[in-house]
Amino acid sequence: MEPDDYIQSFFDHIKTQLTGTKVDSGSTSARYRNIIVAAAWTNHLWDVQLHNNGAEPIRRHYDPANARSSESAASYFVDALRAATGQEPLPRPEIAGRPLAGRRKNPTGV
């Protein structure tokens, strides 16, 4: 996926999950109840920030080669937007975890 397509998809997912979200014409930021989420490409990383008046901003960097999806990134920021406005996070299906990587212990002790 191209960088601009990734950001567009990110904002599309936010808008789908949060009614009343306004995405700017350049598709680099969105506003939800006077809280702004902005995204840009910086040094080959996707830099996403949430600015809430009076609260400390939230900032995440995503490596597009390792990012799971724009939808999972959007879900994180949707939950942060909802929390900042006093709402509960949206219910999401549970995802089965991956087994822990590393060496397994020998059950026989040998």
Q: What is the mean pLDDT of the chain?
A: 81
Rounded Cα distance between 96 and 31, Å, is: 32
Which tokens in the block code for residue 98? 């991956």
Q: Where are the domains of the chain?
A: 3-83
Which is more confidently placed, 5 or 28?
28
pTM, 2 dp: 0.75
Which tokens in the block code for residue 64? 């597009």
Instruction: Quickly count helices (H) and strands (E) in the chain.
Output: 2, 5
The dihedral through the CA atoms of 28, 30, 35, 37 has a sign that is negative
Give the tens place of pLDDT for each residue, 38-60.
Answer: 998 888 888 999 988 777 889 99
Residues 2-29 have a mean pLDDT of 87
pLDDT value of residue 95 = 58
